[in-house]
Amino acid sequence: MTVSNVVAEPVLQVRNLVKHFPIRSTGLLRRNVGEIHAVCDVSFDVYASETLGIVGESGCGKSTTGRAILNLQPATSGQVLFGGKDVTQLTGHDLRVVRRDMQLVFQDPYASLNPRMTVNDIVAEPLVIHKLGDTKKSRRDTVQDLMKTVGLNPEHGNRYPHEFSGGQRQRIGIARALALEPKVLVLDEPVSALDVSIQAGVVNLLEALQDRLGLSYVFIAHDLSVVRHIADRVAVMYLGRIVELAPRDALFERPAHPYTRALLSAIPIPDPRKERERRRIVLQGDVPSPASPPSGCRFRTRCQVFRDQLDDGQREACIEKIPALEDRGQGHPVACHYPDVEKVV
């Protein structure tokens, strides 16, 4: 799981992905009165056997990005290229064929499993939908193998979801996603609903599965500690845009965007001595509304560099020009006019 495969052809290419949600007026006409800019001009590649982490706070567009990749939310514009096809343009049968190779694991293992289906039926459902496995018997065998793969007892297949703990349910969700032998898994906060002692088991399972099956993961999370553990490359999102995209160690050791630095410094480390020595960058205020994002750089309203280090002339660039996501001498792309590398962890 090293980043040695950069030269290879990417499995999944996302190009200039945009997703706007309409804001409708209340009342009979439900006119369009504005747009939520949920995802703006997001581009990235995912390579074979690689984990791309997408991190950011609530409302930054990370989940919408994940859903747009699978065309569960039709993109407003942009392309998602997978196996030579643009997923955003596909419908019906063609879309279903592509989705066989791209599966989603949801955050809430309580809401994403049908309480009235047995675990066997839940895990077999994708096989039925895609008409795989000739007989009920062969499907049952596949399900048993999948249960073993994710560390569940196959004898428990006749039980219902409520008979399992949170960690076990998340394993059922993963087994279901693996049923079609996909190439790419989009994992939307797969461990954030779980207790810490249970989390580790699911994270280890995901890593083992990747090694064994050569899966690519798009790992969406707000917990950067988990992402540091599992991801090969990390994209940091803020208000719909990727602000920094870097290999894991570069991002955590040499964060260049002021938002990445603030985010990293805000995460507590379970180590009292280190915590006492750390300097915290506390951001002022709240995330602006995505219905009317700030002009230029979207982070400038809360940016500590903009506030403390820039003069009015320098600030003009932040207010007027949208910073492109490009390498500015940091070794990885960053969307900031005045990037600066600083160690915060």
Partner 1 sequence: MTAAFELAPQAAQPLLEVTGLSVSFPTDDGLVEAVRGVTYSVSPGEVLGIVGESGSGKSVTSLAIMGLLPPTAQVTGSVKLHGQELVGASYQTMAGLRGRQISMVFQDPISSLNPVYSIGWQLAEAVRAHHDVSKKEALSRSVDLLQLVGIPNAKERAANYPHEFSGGMRQRVVIAMAIANDPDVLIADEPTTALDVTVQAQILETLDIARDATNAAMILITHDLGVVAGVADRVLVMYAGKPVETGIVDDIYYRSQMPYTIGLLNSIPRLDSKGGDELRPIPGSPPSLLNLAPGCPFSPRCDFRIPVCDQEEPALLDVEGIDHQAACHVSAQFAPSATTSEAVQA
- List residues binding partner 1 (CB under 8 A): 1, 57-58, 165, 167, 195-201, 203-204, 207, 222, 224-226, 228-231, 248-249, 252, 262-276, 278, 280, 282-283, 285-286, 345
The closest alpha carbon to 209, from 122, 169, 151, belongs to 151
CA distances (Å), 245 to each of 45, 114, 116, 122, 212, in order? 11, 37, 42, 36, 27
The closest alpha carbon to 235, from 50, 23, 34, 22, belongs to 50
Round to whole Å and give the CA distance between 67 and 21.
13
SS (H, E, C) 58-72: CCCCHHHHHHHHCCC
Kindly state the smallest distance separating residue 38's Cβ from partner 1, in Å.
17
- Residue placing its CB nearer to partner 1 in the complex, 65 or 103: 65
Helix-helix angle 136-149:119-129, to 10 degrees: 120
- Residue placing its CB nearer to partner 1 in the complex, 133 or 288: 288
Kindly state the smallest distance separating residue 332's Cβ from partner 1, in Å.
17
Residue 111: CB atoms within 10 A of its CB come to 9
Round to whole Å and give the CA distance between 221 and 169.
19
Residue 11 · residue 82 · CB < 8 Å: yes
Kindly state the smallest distance separating residue 306's Cβ from partner 1, in Å.
16
- Residue placing its CB nearer to partner 1 in the complex, 283 or 318: 283
- Residue placing its CB nearer to partner 1 in the complex, 48 or 267: 267
Q: Residue 314 corresponds to which amino acid? A: Q
Kindly state the smallest distance separating residue 234's Cβ from partner 1, in Å.
11
Kindly state the smallest distance separating residue 58's Cβ from partner 1, in Å.
6
- Residue placing its CB nearer to partner 1 in the complex, 147 or 230: 230
Kindly state the smallest distance separating residue 320's Cβ from partner 1, in Å.
26
Kindly state the smallest distance separating residue 165's Cβ from partner 1, in Å.
5
- Residue placing its CB nearer to partner 1 in the complex, 16 or 110: 110
Kindly state the smallest distance separating residue 269's Cβ from partner 1, in Å.
5
Round to whole Å and give the CA distance between 322 and 106.
33
Residues 6+ apart with CB under 8 A from 137: none
- Residue placing its CB nearer to partner 1 in the complex, 71 or 260: 260
Residue 155 · residue 189 · CB < 8 Å: no
Q: Residue 76 corresponds to which amino acid? A: T
Residue 34 · residue 21 · CB < 8 Å: no
Q: What is the DSSP letter of 151?
A: T
- Residue placing its CB nearer to partner 1 in the complex, 182 or 188: 188
- Residue placing its CB nearer to partner 1 in the complex, 182 or 293: 293
Kindly state the smallest distance separating residue 116's Cβ from partner 1, in Å.
23
Side-chain half-sphere exposure of 144, counting CA atoms within 13 A = 8
